[in-house]
Structure 1
Amino acid sequence: MSPTREGDSAPAPGSRRDAILTAAARYFAAEGYHSAGMRGIADSVGIKGASLYNHFGSKEEILYAIALKMTRDPVEEHLVVLDEPGSPAERLTRLIGVHLRHLAVHRVEHLVSLRELAALTPEHRDHVVDYRKYYQRRVRDVVAAGVRTGEFHVADPLRASVASLDLMNGVSWWLRDDHNVDALVDTYVDYIVGGILRHDAGAPPPHDGPATEG
């Protein structure tokens, strides 16, 4: 069960709230969270300070919303591929694809949520970490399933899962808009499935797409 809590409902896509979070993340990335002020955030969005306070009561609430979006959305939207038909290697390959493509679109928000996590209140930080741990556990379970079927050859599925996720999340630090994301996905499938997880070449090869039965 994912760590959803009361009041966690996501805003509608394309809402003013989303626009504020996108602009605020860019502002935090450029100015640094601790140097940022609500007035500067409002200016970056192109609205008046009073309008900003209609949506968020403080810059910490804005940072929390950014971090929550970058942890809750992957839990709700990415993990469904782990429940689809296919071998563990096939399902993890699909997860690598959706995970990296999401980071490519939301690189700045993800980078800010990683870099400024310590600025959150303890309650907010724990909530974000709960989502991350849940995502990690789901990946671990599929890695463990692959170990049981002989597809993967790792001694510790949890450590292998952490290493795989850390490798993917690290692209936020250097990824640029001109990078070929499809090529990046192929490379990271090789790094993770073929490398970290030591996929058995004798098993059915993973592919980045819906699995077919039969």
Structure 2
Amino acid sequence: MSNADWAARGEQVFIGTYSRFPAAMVKGRGCRLWDDDGREYLDFLAGIAVCSLGHCHPAVTRAVCEQAQELMHVSNLFHTKPQIRLAELLCANTFADKVFMANSGAEANEAAIKLARIHSGAGRYEIISLSGSFHGRTLATVAATGQPKFHQGFEPLPKGFVHARFGDPAEVEQLINEKTCAILCEPVQGESGVRPLDREYLQAIRAMC
């Protein structure tokens, strides 16, 4: 079967949530991918940053195979040694004292929104995010996303989200009021092109918090 054949089969069974390229990837090594027609690609996406060590990195492949032979999944109702070790590494090498294991960026952002609201007290629920941002595909993270095209068809969206112009700390400051509980931003926006926020901007909004 060709790429076109696989793409046609996929369109018959997948909901059209994402626009997919008409190629069926069958192999990856390092920063390269191969499709079912044998075409080779230099992969600049890295699985949308999931495969940051490259495809089929020997150490990752070995660790996955070894763990799969011992234990796959028991849910968060139980402790597992690899999960505890990972949490310890994250706490030791980041700002965090504790971690929340999530399955996606949207789930992580949902948790951040809930944490900000629950710890800010009554009446403080509003979150400021930036124009051009992308924070996920759940209803709350769609509302936080600063791109109207992602809002279309999902109205009414959850309330409590406002958007400031990208790169304008003065506008963020103007939007802060007695209802504000958090500022949500990406240091580098991806969905709107690779748009980094400069250090001075990030320091300015950090000082506002």
Same fold (TM over 0.5): no
Higher share in strand: 2
TM-score normalised by L of structure 2:
0.26
Q: Identify which of structures 1 and 2 has the higher relative contact order when contacts are C-alpha pairs closer than 8 Å and 6+ apart.
A: 1
